[in-house]
Amino acid sequence: MSRADRIRQLHAAARERILVLDGAWGVMIQGKGLTEADYRGERFAAHNGQMKGNNDILCLTRPDIVAELHDAYFAAGADISETNTFSATTIAQEDYGLDAQAVRDINLEGARLARAAADRWTEKEPHKPRFAAGSIGPLNKMLSMSSDVNDPGARLVTFDQVYEAYRQQVRALHEGRVHLFLIETITDTLNCKAAIKAIKDLEDEGYEPLPIWISGTITDRSGRTLSGQTAEAFWNSVRHAKPFAVGFNCALGADLMRPFIAELSRVADTLVAAYPNAGLPNAMGQYDEQPHETAHFLEEWARSGLVNIVGGCCGTTPDHIRHVAEEVAGVQPRQIPERPVAMRLSGLEPFELVA
C-alpha cells in the first residue's frame, strides 16, 4: 500500500474513532539498563564525550530496542507510534558532539524503524491500520526568550539557524517514509513556526505533503506555554498551518491539563489531541500514577467530547496505553466545531474581530 493510501486511512480512522498514540520512550529505555557501550555501538566507539542518555542515537546503535518498543506500543493498542527522534536536530545534538551526517542518519533510521513496525502490524491486523509519526521535539535553545537575564535581546540562535536544523530533520524523516509529522512538546511558538516552515517548504521542493500534528506544552497552572501564550493564543498562532491535529502534551498530569484541553477543544476547528504525563513526578522524579488512573481521566475527556486523539507522555508505559485504548474504545470522537468567520490574532493573549 502506498503512503498516500495509508494517509487516507489515517483520516478515515480519525473520523470513525478516537485514535491512540503511544506512551513514553524515556522511561522504557531507562528500564533497559543500557551502558555507555550500548549507546556508542561500533560506529561511535571512539567518539569523544559521554553518549549515554542520548536516546535518539539508539536508532543507530541499538535498533533492536527501538523496534521492540514500537512493537510493545502497537501490541498495547496504539494506532500511532512516534519515531525515536525527539532530540534529533543538529542544535540539540551539539551537546553530544554529533555532526550533521549522524543527525540525518538518526532521523532516517528512526523513521524506517517506525514505518517498518507500523507496516508489520497493519499486515497482521488490517482492520486496524498503524501509523508512524515523525517526532520533532523542542530545542534546548529558544527564539522567544532571552538567554541572558541581563540582556532581554540576547539569543543563542537565530530563526534561520532553527529553521535549517528542522529542515534537515524533516527531510530525513520524510525520506524515511513516516506518515505524518508531530511537532511536539512546544514551549516556544516561534521555534514551532520554524518547524512548520521547514515542513511546508518541503512541498515546494517536490516532496509529498504529509499531515502535521502540533502539540504544545502548558507548563503550569497559569495556563500558558513557556513563551507566555494561552491555549487559544497558541492555536491562533499555528492555525495557518492547517494542521491535521493540535493539542497539548507533557508538563502536567491529566487532572491539571483538562481545562486547557477543554479550551482548545472549544476553539480549534481541527482534531484535538492530548497526551499527558502519568501525573506529576514525585520527590524522586518518578511517576506514580497507575495505568487505570490515567485511563480514567482520558475516558472522561473522551466521553465529554473533548478529544480525537489520546496517548501518554512522561511516565506512561505500554500498560498505560493498553488501559487507555480499552477505555476509549467505542467512544465517539469529538465533533469539530464550526466557528464564525473572524479575524483572529494572537500575542500572549488571543484577539478576535468578528465581521
Separation of alpha carbons 333 and 269, rounded Å: 14
DSSP structural state of residue 338: P
Separation of alpha carbons 288 and 178, rounded Å: 33
- Amino acid symbol at 84: N
Compute the C-alpha angle 266/271/277, nearest 5°: 85
Q: Could you give the C-alpha distances from 45 to 94, 150, 228, in angstroms and in order?
A: 18, 41, 42
Kindly provide the residue ranges of all beta strands, DSSP E only, lying in 7-102, ordered along the sequence: 19-20, 80-82
Burial (CB < 10 A; 0-12, 13-18, 19+), residue 281, is middle
Task: Give the three-state DSSP class for 21.
Answer: strand
Instruction: Flag whether 59 is marked binding.
Output: no
Output the nine-digit C-alpha cell for 298.
Answer: 482520558
Contact 138, 188 (CB under 8 A): yes
Contact 91, 136 (CB under 8 A): no
Separation of alpha carbons 302 and 298, rounded Å: 6
Burial (CB < 10 A; 0-12, 13-18, 19+), residue 47, is middle
Instruction: Flag whether 192 is marked binding.
Output: no
Q: Per residue in 3-16, is it b (16+ CB within 10 Å) or e — as a string?
A: eeebbebbeebbee
> In the block, which residue shows the cell 533497559?
32
Phi, then psi, of 167 in degrees rounded to 5: -60, -45
Residues 6 or more apart from 95 whose CB is under 8 A from it? 54, 140
Output the nine-digit C-alpha cell for 310.
Answer: 489520546
Binding residues: 250, 313-314
Mark the binding-site residues for Zn(2+), compressed into ranges: 250, 313-314
